[in-house]
Chains A and B, each alone.
Chain A
Amino acid sequence: MNEHAEQHVAPPRGIRVALFVTCLADLLRPSVAFASIKLLERAGCDVIVPLQQTCCGQPAYNNGNYEDTIPLAKQVIATLEGADYVVVPSGSCAGMITHHYPKLLEGQWRDRALQLAANTFELTVFLAEIVRIKAPGKAFPKLPAVTYHDGCAGLREMGIREQPRQLLRELCGIEVKELNHSDVCCGFGGTFCAKMPEISAKMVDDKLKNVMATGAGILAGGDLGCLLNIAGRARRHGEDIEVRHIAELLCQDLDTPAIGQGT
């Protein structure tokens, strides 16, 4: 199937980028991956999507099941290595590949993991700092105010903070309305939110309170896990906020219903 994908990419024009879709985008929000492809192509990349990919292994890994994560990590490495770059529309999955795979593996596999880690970037970092995407020249339709949620792994493991704000400014003319205590976790934490739901609910309520206090109409972010958590709680409480992944916003795709919103 992999070959099948490669047959259909155009002959090389620029750098070859393999997209790691992430399992959450694959299962719940393909529009994030399609938007990522569009942005990367607009930045002059040849995008390939290796078809053998599933999940980076965070659920097992974060729960301390290292034994079952290791073969999955090897599978991801084998699937993604070979392209010039790997781009991931999620700070936490990018962090898993770049920081945790090398810790899990040994010998040759560790070398391959480090090699892959060196070429792997989260989407907004890649667009802002590696390929330096240019503004599309098409004005963005008038938007409600936008605030931004920094996912913890992105913020602390991958150093993502300015890049999404810069892209929103340069590509869409959006100035982010900052939310208070943006460095505090939203309470998602992968399976944490289901294992300790009451504590998680208190944390996401704190986050939502800060989101609503900005008066913004859109909450953007780079990690679907956090966004599903915040959007799900907002829906439960009937809070009026559109939650969207940054890739969709940068693509100016507002026709896709926001996360948790009906058609």
Chain B
Amino acid sequence: MEQHSDTFLENASAALKNSAQAERRDFIALFAPLIRTAAVEGFAEFDTLRAHVKRVRQHSLDHLEYYLGKFEHEAVHNGNHVHFARDGAEMNSIVLEICQQHSARRVAKGKSMVTEETGLNSFLQRAGLQVMETDLGEYIIQQAGETPSHIVAPALHKSAGEIRALFQSKHDLGARELPETVDLVSEARQVLREHFMKADVGIIGANALIAENGYSMLVTNEGNGDLCANLPRVLIVCTTIDRVLPLAQDATAMLRLLVRSATGQAQTCYTSFYSGPRRENDVDGPIETHFVLLDNKRSDILGGDYREMLECIRCGACLNHCPIYTSVGGHAYGWVYPGPMGSILTPLLTSLEQSNALPNACTSCGRCAEVCPADIPLPDLLRDLRHEETTKKLNAPRWRRGLKMHAWLARHPPLYQALTGMVIPVLNLFGRRRGSFKRLPLASGWTGQRDFPAPQKGTFMQLYKAKLKRQAAQEAKRNHEH
């Protein structure tokens, strides 16, 4: 996917000015945490399970090579083909090759952020294939020519009215007006049904790969994943190497955290396990099945300081609880993954140079880490990325120098106190009547949006030392009198 993370501030500014979308985001900011809290509070084991799944994930990553090997072995045993792709380009060409081997013309696709990462759709389309997204949200944004704004709900930024207008312009509706939301859903269902029946290849993602039996697990609410997997002749599961878990029970344990954190449900409507191609007596199912497992820098992340990020289960809770994400929306982040998890993944999967604003889009408020079912210390990882920016001099020089200067001054208390003791009384003199400044030299970042409250008549250190001196004088006087 094309990247626009370097213009995060401009993207954000434009998003803030779109008042209709801002209103939708405000609603999500209120609503999403409510349903998650209700789901988690009604599930007493959440914290215990979170700790358990964390240990399992850490263990799987510690022994990733072993479990991937085990998964491959079992999956091949089940009749699947397993491919490893070093980067996005390799994944795309593996998928295209499979399609070409089967002379495929039509592809039905389930929701997959990994294929967004590799830009699979446009790659296949350029090769002449017709690719249809079948997840309702993905279908909507595909029709609109947009990208996902949320990792769980890709069309979250679109209102029913916008979707209606979109269908009116893209579908042959005749006299139908699609007045209700359900009309929109059944319209999409109608169009998609036809495509499922005609597709030669189905492509889906995976929430987990299970090493012990070589299965993949996928959760959806629409069942479109199963149709993609079962109706076309060929099934391709595209996912990343870090999804592997040792046991089936680990995958279901993770699921109990994932769904509650993502949509506030106890369970999604469909939880499916894919084992392999149709067997001799099966009435349906694909005749050939492939797993394409993408690395794309995950091995590097595994060996580095941000390894915990690989434990992310893509629930989207950190997005829903991030006041910056809900202020500016997913598109502002300029790539596939937005919000706190995206501000870490984007620099790691692309480059920090291209996305150096993202780790700064954080107030360290800690709400994301509090709700993250994978217990990832997101604000700490974001700060570590800022550390990397400082070390590599990727952040604005005036900030870098200013902060360095401040830290230096703070390490020289007499000088610090002498300097502040000069500045503060002057500011007080000019500011005390009004109580605040509308404008202040060197503080435009602050005063552009808010007044700067005027200081009191001296620094604490000045006033306190003066007080100590007075007390000493009084005491001396008293002693003298005695």
Residue in A33, A60, A262 whose CB lies within 8 Å of B433? A262
**B158: interface (CB < 8 Å):** no
**Nearest Cβ in chain A — how far from B211, in angstroms?**
34
Contact B363 A233 (CB under 8 A): no
Task: Enumerate B389-417 residues with CB–CB distance to A below 8 Å.
Answer: 389-390, 395, 399-400, 403-404, 406-411, 413-414, 416-417
Residue in B366, B367, B446 whose CB lies within 8 Å of A193? B446
Mark interface residues in A223-244 (1 if CB within 8 Å of B CB, else 0). Answer: 0000011011101100000000
When chains A and B are docked, how far (Å) is the Cα of A229 from the Cα of B365? 15
When chains A and B are docked, how far (Å) is the Cα of A256 from the Cα of B366? 33
Contact A57 B367 (CB under 8 A): no
When chains A and B are docked, how far (Å) is the Cα of A252 from the Cα of B459? 22
**A188: interface (CB < 8 Å):** yes
When chains A and B are docked, how far (Å) is the Cα of A55 from the Cα of B385? 23
Task: Report chain A residues within 8 Å CB of B363.
Answer: 152, 185, 187-190, 192, 203
Contact B16 A63 (CB under 8 A): no
Given A185-B363, A197-B449: A72 touches B465 (CB 8 Å cut-off): no
Contact A64 B362 (CB under 8 A): no
Segment among A45-53, A110-118, A124-132 that sits at the interface with chain B: A45-53
Contact B451 A195 (CB under 8 A): no
Given A26-B420, A54-B416, A201-B449: A195 touches B410 (CB 8 Å cut-off): no
When chains A and B are docked, how far (Å) is the Cα of A35 from the Cα of B158? 51
Contact A198 B449 (CB under 8 A): yes
Contact A63 B390 (CB under 8 A): yes
When chains A and B are docked, how far (Å) is the Cα of A192 from the Cα of B45? 36
When chains A and B are docked, how far (Å) is the Cα of A192 from the Cα of B387? 15
The interface residues of chain B, by DSSP majority, are classed as helix
**B13: interface (CB < 8 Å):** yes
Nearest-neighbor residue (CB-CB) of A227 within chain B:
B453
Residue in A30, A65, A184, A188 whose CB lies within 8 Å of B390? A65
Residue in B387, B453, B456 whose CB lies within 8 Å of A31? B456
**A5: interface (CB < 8 Å):** yes
Contact B465 A232 (CB under 8 A): no
Given A63-B386, A72-B407: A199 touches B327 (CB 8 Å cut-off): yes
When chains A and B are docked, how far (Å) is the Cα of A37 from the Cα of B344? 42
**A27: interface (CB < 8 Å):** yes
Interface size class of B (residues with CB under 8 A): 35 or more
**B304: interface (CB < 8 Å):** no
Task: Report chain B residues within 8 Å CB of A257.
Answer: 435
**B432: interface (CB < 8 Å):** yes
Task: Report chain A residues within 8 Å CB of B66.
Answer: none
**Nearest Cβ in chain A — how far from B370, in angstroms?**
6
**A220: interface (CB < 8 Å):** no
**Nearest Cβ in chain B — how far from A105, in angstroms?**
15
Contact A75 B411 (CB under 8 A): yes
Contact B367 A192 (CB under 8 A): no
Query: How many A-B contacts if CB must be within 8 Å?
Result: 220
When chains A and B are docked, how far (Å) is the Cα of A49 from the Cα of B408? 22
Mark interface residues in B309-338 (1 if CB within 8 Å of A CB, else 0). Answer: 000000000000001100110000000000
**A8: interface (CB < 8 Å):** yes
Given A28-B456, A157-B366, A193-B445: A63 touches B406 (CB 8 Å cut-off): no
Task: Report chain A residues within 8 Å CB of B269.
Answer: none
Task: Report chain B residues within 8 Å CB of A229.
Answer: 450
Contact A68 B453 (CB under 8 A): no
Contact A60 B365 (CB under 8 A): no
**A29: interface (CB < 8 Å):** yes
**A43: interface (CB < 8 Å):** no
When chains A and B are docked, how far (Å) is the Cα of A8 from the Cα of B469? 9
**A217: interface (CB < 8 Å):** no
Mark interface residues in B216-248 (1 if CB within 8 Å of A CB, else 0). Answer: 000000000000000000000000000000000
Contact A194 B323 (CB under 8 A): no
When chains A and B are docked, how far (Å) is the Cα of A256 from the Cα of B435? 11
Nearest-neighbor residue (CB-CB) of B462 within chain A:
A30
Mark interface residues in A18-32 (1 if CB within 8 Å of B CB, else 0). Answer: 000101011111110
Contact B407 A69 (CB under 8 A): yes
Task: Report chain B residues within 8 Å CB of A156.
Answer: 365-367, 370
Contact A185 B323 (CB under 8 A): yes
**Nearest Cβ in chain B — how far from A185, in angstroms?**
4
**A253: interface (CB < 8 Å):** no
Task: Report chain B residues within 8 Å CB of A28.
Answer: 424, 453, 455-456
Contact B407 A65 (CB under 8 A): yes
Contact A236 B327 (CB under 8 A): no
Residue in B399, B451, B472 whose CB lies within 8 Å of A63? B399
Given A54-B417, A65-B400: A262 touches B432 (CB 8 Å cut-off): yes
Task: Report chain B residues within 8 Å CB of A256.
Answer: 456
Task: Report chain A residues within 8 Å CB of B113.
Answer: none
Contact A235 B436 (CB under 8 A): yes
When chains A and B are docked, how far (Å) is the Cα of A70 from the Cα of B383? 15
Given A65-B387, A232-B453: A199 touches B328 (CB 8 Å cut-off): yes
When chains A and B are docked, how far (Å) is the Cα of A75 from the Cα of B434? 37
Of listed A52, A75, A192, residue having the most chain B CB within 10 A: A192
Task: Enumerate A1-16 residues with CB–CB distance to B below 8 Å.
Answer: 1, 4-5, 8
Additional 13 contacts, C-beta under 8 A, given A60-B403, A204-B449, A232-B436: A29-B455, A59-B406, A64-B389, A68-B408, A156-B366, A181-B30, A191-B403, A194-B443, A196-B12, A197-B448, A197-B449, A231-B453, A232-B446
Q: Footprint of A on B, CB under 8 Å?
A: 9, 12-13, 16, 22, 26, 29-30, 323-324, 327-328, 359-367, 370, 383-390, 395, 399-400, 403-404, 406-411, 413-414, 416-417, 420, 424, 432-436, 438, 443, 445-446, 448-456, 458-461, 463-465, 468, 471-472
30 of the cross-chain contacts (CB-CB < 8 Å) are A26-B420, A28-B453, A34-B460, A49-B464, A53-B413, A59-B403, A63-B399, A63-B400, A63-B403, A64-B383, A64-B386, A64-B388, A72-B410, A157-B366, A181-B30, A184-B29, A189-B363, A191-B399, A193-B445, A196-B361, A197-B446, A197-B448, A199-B328, A204-B450, A228-B452, A231-B451, A232-B446, A236-B438, A260-B453, A261-B435
Q: Footprint of B on A, CB under 8 Å?
A: 1, 4-5, 8, 21, 23, 25-31, 33-34, 49, 51-55, 57, 59-66, 68-69, 71-72, 75, 152-153, 156-157, 181, 183-185, 187-204, 206, 228-229, 231-233, 235-236, 256-257, 259-263
Q: Which 4 A-B pairs have the closest CB atoms?
A: A189-B363, A194-B445, A64-B386, A232-B450
